């Protein structure tokens, strides 16, 4: 079984809904130059029970070998977030942008009416590892846009650092959706509470490293947990851990 769904009673909501996706149950493809795992249906991997989580459409865990990459290809009407974990990735697009993104960078591209881009590992001797995330937008056919920022996440331990929001004036990059992403670099024994930003949203937690417990469920490296019909969750770091939280609308 690749999906575990559980219900837990809470004070405000009738039930808290949860869905657990273990790392080993993700879709996997190795193309030689690209070794990729898909949390949700993508390319040749299709699971009707794992097409998306609310507005979160794609969560790909990509490893690209040295000197290789994705050739120029199109996107439209999608908010695309890239989070490098190791190495250097060169981005170029039809808007005239050409940038290198590295660990602690957060990149966003609103594809809108349509954009072409490419991504290449600039280091011939080492792999680049990054998360490719797609979110359905709340506005279609917007003017394409690009942005990236650098955050010193390693020095901000035991807190949830906002990296994506709907507001251009908030910390992090912004997207056309009522979605908030946070990253945490947690030491063993840390307990944090995440309060949802908007009623009706769900939260998808993706564990990058270590071990945590969220609402009584244990997560290990690359496990994912979706939670909805609640307004907060409690995260306990049972080991040193790095986590990505993605709050998205369940209906949009």
CB 89 within 8 A of CB 33: no
pLDDT value at position 11?
45
CA distance 148 to 246: 18
CB 23 within 8 A of CB 3: no
Secondary structure class of 48 (helix, strand, coil): coil
pLDDT value at position 14?
58
What residues does each domain of the chain span? 4-249
pLDDT value at position 13?
60
Residue 249 has pLDDT above 90, yes or no: yes
For residue 223, name the pLDDT band (cuts at 50, 70, 90). very high
Q: Tell me the torsion sign for CA atoms 78, 58, 146, 35.
A: negative
- The DSSP symbol for 251 reads -
Residues 15-20, mean pLDDT to the nearest whole number: 95
| pLDDT tens profile 151-171 | 988 889 999 999 999 999 999
Secondary structure class of 6 (helix, strand, coil): strand
Instruction: State the chain's mean pLDDT as an integer.
Output: 94
pLDDT value at position 42?
98
What does CATH list as the number for 4-249? 2.60.120.10
pLDDT value at position 7?
44
């Amino acid at each position: 079984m690749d999906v575990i769904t559980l219900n837990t009673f809470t004070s405000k909501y009738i039930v808290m809904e949860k869905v657990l996706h273990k790392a080993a149950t993700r879709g996997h493809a190795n193309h030689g130059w690209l070794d990729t795992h898909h949390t949700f249906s993508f390319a040749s991997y299709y699971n009707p029970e794992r097409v998306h989580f609310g507005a979160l459409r794609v969560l790909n865990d990509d490893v690209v070998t040295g000197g290789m990459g994705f050739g120029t290809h199109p996107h439209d009407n999608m908010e695309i977030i890239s989070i490098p974990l190791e190495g250097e990735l060169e981005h170029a697009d039809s808007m005239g942008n050409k940038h290198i993104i590295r660990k602690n960078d957060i990149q966003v591209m609103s594809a809108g009416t349509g954009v072409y881009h490419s991504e290449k590992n600039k280091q011939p001797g080492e792999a680049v590892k990054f998360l490719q995330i797609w979110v359905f937008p709340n506005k279609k056919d917007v003017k394409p846009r690009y942005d990236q920022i650098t955050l010193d996440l390693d020095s901000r331990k035991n807190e949830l650092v906002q990296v994506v929001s709907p507001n251009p004036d908030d910390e992090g990059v912004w997207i056309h959706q009522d979605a908030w992403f946070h990253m945490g670099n947690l030491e063993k024994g840390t307990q944090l509470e995440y309060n949802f930003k908007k009623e009706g949203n769900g939260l998808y937690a993706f564990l990058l490293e270590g071990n945590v417990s969220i609402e009584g469920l244990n997560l290990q490296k690359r496990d994912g947990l979706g939670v909805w019909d609640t307004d907060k969750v409690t995260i306990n770091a049972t080991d040193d851990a790095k986590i990505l939280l993605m709050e998205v609308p369940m209906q949009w």
